[in-house]
Every structure is written in C-alpha cells, then in structure tokens.
Structure 1
Amino acid sequence: MLDWLRRADTRAKETPAPRKVAARVIVVGERELPLVIKKLGHARRMTLRLAPDGSEARVSIPAWCRVGDAEAFARDRADWLAGQLANLPEARHIAPGASLNFRGEMLVIQWTEAARRKPVIDAGHLIIGGPQESLSRRLQRWLESEAMWHFGVDLAHYCAKTGHDVPRLALSRAQRRWGSCASDGSIRINWRLIMAPDFVRRSVVAHEVAHMTHFDHSPAFHAHLDTLFEGDVGAANRWLKRHGRSLYAQFG
C-alpha cells in the first residue's frame, strides 16, 4: 500500500512538458532569418535592426503594439535587411595564420605548440602556444583581460579629470551598446572595443564617465564630453558606425 502511494505521489508531481512554440522567421532573399520581437515599455514606435553578426532580425515595439503588426513591419522591410546582410563583414575564423585585431592593429596569429600559452605580440604577429583546439577560447579570454586592464586605466584617467571616484567596472557582451552607465554609477564597456583603435575605445569610456555628471544626452552632456575627451568624438562615432560590425566578425 505504501509503495503504491509513493508511486502515485511521484506521478502527481510530474510537470507536463512545455508546449513548443514555433520560432518566428522572415524570408530575406533566399534565406530564412530568425525574427525576434521584443515589447518595450518605453518604446514609442517600432524599430527594426539586424543583429551585428547577422544571425537574426530584431523588432522592438511599444507595449500596446500587436506582434502581428511587428511581423508585417519586418516583412515589408525585407529588402532593407537583405542590404544590411550584404554589407556584413566576412566572418573570420580564429586559426593559425588568421588575422586578429588588437587596439586597431591587425596581428597575424602565429601558433606553435611549444610557444608560451600567454600571447606575445612581436612585429605584427601574435605568438601563442598551447592546445590548438582551445585557441579561440584562450584568445578571447586574453582579449577580455586586456580590455579590462585598458578600460580600467581609461576610466581612472577620466574620473580624475572630473573629480569623480572610480566606479565599479565590468565588461559587457551586448550586441549593440558599446557602453552603459547605471544609475548606481557602475560602468560597463563592451569587451570588443579592445580590438578597435585606442581613440575609439577611449571615446566610449569618456562618454560613460560624462554620464556620471549628466545622466542624459542634453547639450550640457555633449559640451561636457567635448571638454573631457581629448580626441574627436565625431571621428570616433563615425569609426564605430562604419567598422563597428567588423568587431563581431570573430568569436561569434
């Protein structure tokens, strides 16, 4: 009797399998592209974007908007998405002999099993040893480590100029945003910026530090940023607009 009750209790606690929901796709040219629709409480209109790596189309809509309208919105702009896909940089794989961007410089990966596991830069080459099968993973960890160090130096520099205490810093893996400053003052910077030229990376850090004084994009904010950043903010923004997607050509 007790055994029967135990079995019955086990069956009662079983949770039915969740019902599968078909993924949304949109036909772009000759391929099907995943379509991600997200409702945002602060959105006032529908916006369509292509993921930086071209893996999916994304529509942001106001909370009151219907999903069906968002799907139609994306379908009507399939030609625009096709143009965006055509402009994506060619994917580059991490392998011996391939190139890797670091601080705006193109380095050739020179792998030798007997070399040190920690990468060494020498005359346009990135020399690295260790297991070849973990090469991509180890190089990404190295880039993230370099990013954290350089971002930290940049952050301390701009905080000193503004008189702010250095806030908590973290790396971001966002698909679109290069940096963010939270209401508690903590700052996140996209790790891929370590592959961009120094002035581009530093402009993003300066931008987020400027938000510690002006938590908006008002004229006062831009005036403050112009005095804080030693370079040309416009040139840095143009570089990101023109080449930003190329930073997603490696490491997925």
Structure 2
Amino acid sequence: MAKGVFDWLRRADTKAKQTPAPRTVSRRSIAVEGRELPLVIRKLSHARRMTLRLAPDGSEARISIPAWGRIGDAEAFARDRADWLAGQLARLPATQSIAPDASLPLRGEALQIDWSESARRKPVVANGRLIVGGPIEGLTTRLQRWLEAEALSSCAEDLAHYCSRAGETVPRLSLSRAQRRWGSCAADGSIRMNWRLIMAPDFVRRSVVAHEVAHMRHFDHSPAFHAHLETLYEGDIDVANRWLKRHGRSLYALFG
C-alpha cells in the first residue's frame, strides 16, 4: 500500500447520493516532528482500503478506513507514517499575507495589490495590478469577498456552458469553502464549487465544473462517467488534474 494518497481529484458528493454518512468519526492526535498533529479517522461504508491524507492547510491528518476496519489499526498506520507526514508538512506553501504590494493570484495571473485609501473600495484590475481602496483594516475581507463574487460569476458561466453541452437544465450553484473538495454535486443536482478555484488558471476551474456536470448524469466514477466528461470538457482533463495535484495547496496560502 502506498504510504499516503492525496485525493486532489475532485469528486461528486456521493455520500449525499448513494452512501450514508461516516459511521464512525474518531479524533486523536499523533506526534509529528515534535508537534501534536490532530488525526481524524473516519469509517466509511464505501471505503475498500485505508488512505492517509493531510488537510490542504496542514491542520490535521485524515484517515479513511472501511466500515470493518479498526480505529487502533488506523492510528498505528498514521504513526508508522509520521516521517511521511512530516515531509508533506514541510512542503506546504508558506502562509502569505494580504497587504499592499503583495501578490494575489486571479485566474492564474499574479496581480500586485495596489492599495490606496482614497481609491475605490471595489477592486479594479489594470496592467497587472489590483487597485483597491478603503481602510487598510478589512482589506483581506474585502478582497476575499471580491474573489468570491468573481468565482460565482465565472462558475455560473462555466456551468451554463457545460449544461448546454450535456443537455442538462442548469442547476442551483453555490460556493464552498471546503478544505478538501474542489466541487460537489448533491442528490438534488445542485452544484457547489470551491471559491479558491478563481485563483487557478481558467482551464483548471472549468475542468472542475465540467466534472460536476458529468456527475449530473453519472453519480460515480465509472468508465461511462469518464467517457461523458471527455465529451464535455474541451481541454486535457489529465493536465488539469495534474495542476491541482501539484499546485492546489498553494491556493490555501492566502485567506487562512
């Protein structure tokens, strides 16, 4: 078994569609590089093996095990891989601050924050800069809300596009602040998208939207699902997946 599996591939909300909630959730902690790292162990009815992941922000380790698995075995599994977890923690991107002259990604482009108290509060993008005004206090909150609004607008356009290609009625769309999923499709067909995707390149965000639209017809990751996704998404889905695996964590370096 691999020492750890990072599930950066987006997934539909299969728990809402066809499986029950986790049967058991156990919260422990393990020693990693001199610190106590929270450990969350979940028993899942659909799990077939034990998988270990680190939360995108490094706040906790997570293990999923089959319903018949033992909590003690999961804890031992994590302890045996403390060195692996330490290595993953070391690779986390450094936390960045939102401040004048700092860099903020938007749709894959790094923008320099150009703040002046006398400028308009609503950010404006111009020549590689993000011009924004208002009191310095609350700058982070204002920029996050602006990014969320940009995310909702872009995802709505993407959703309408892929629903048209799929012959589906456009469902309700909302944003997510999830720490693990990039997107989800609920039992009623509504779709939630992680707002942080607005900081990634367009082809990455669009691939996630296409993925969730494909789940409106196929509630699994069967060959039929992947074949349907390939007919919807114009780009290379493997390239988009690799970008998220390689750079997805960097989207959590800002805004906590």
**TM-score interval w.r.t. the shorter chain?**
0.7 to 0.9
- Matched with 1:207 is 211
Q: Distance in 2 between matches of 1:62 and 1:138?
A: 43
> Unpaired segments of 5 or more residues in structure 1?
1-22
Q: Distance in 2 between matches of 1:223 and 1:38?
A: 31
Q: Distance in 2 between matches of 1:233 and 1:59?
A: 27
Q: Distance in 2 between matches of 1:44 and 1:218?
A: 16
1:1-252 equivalent positions in 2, closer than 5 A: 24-252=28-256
User: Greater helix percent: which structure?
Assistant: 1
Deviations 1:47-79 (A, max 9, x none): 211110111111223333333222211111001
SS of aligned partner of 1:151: helix
The alpha carbon displacement at 1:25 in A equals 2.2
- Matched with 1:4 is none
Q: Which moved more, 1:59-68 or 1:207-216?
A: 59-68
User: Structure 1 residues 42, 222: CA separation in 2 closer, same or farther (over 3 Å shift)?
Assistant: closer
Letter in 2 for 1:49: R
Q: Which moved more, 1:40-49 or 1:87-96?
A: 40-49
Q: Distance in 2 between matches of 1:179 and 1:213?
A: 16
The alpha carbon displacement at 1:46 in A equals 2.2
The alpha carbon displacement at 1:229 in A equals 0.9
SS of aligned partner of 2:138: helix
SS of aligned partner of 1:194: helix
Say which structure, 1 or 2, has more relative contact order (CA 8 Å, 6+ apart).
2
With normalisation by structure 2, the TM-score equals: 0.86
Deviations 1:165-188 (A, max 9, x none): 100111111112111111211111
The alpha carbon displacement at 1:205 in A equals 0.4
Task: Return structure 1 stretches of 4+ with deviation > 6 angstroms.
Answer: none
With normalisation by structure 1, the TM-score equals: 0.87
Q: Distance in 1 between matches of 2:100 and 2:28?
A: 38
Letter in 2 for 1:111: W
Letter in 2 for 1:233: I
Letter in 1 for 2:103: S
Letter in 1 for 2:156: G
The alpha carbon displacement at 1:218 in A equals 1.6
Letter in 2 for 1:141: R
The alpha carbon displacement at 1:131 in A equals 1.5
> Unpaired segments of 5 or more residues in structure 2?
1-26
RMSD (CA atoms): 1.3
Percent identity between the two aligned chains: 77
The alpha carbon displacement at 1:164 in A equals 0.9
The alpha carbon displacement at 1:207 in A equals 0.8
Letter in 2 for 1:35: L
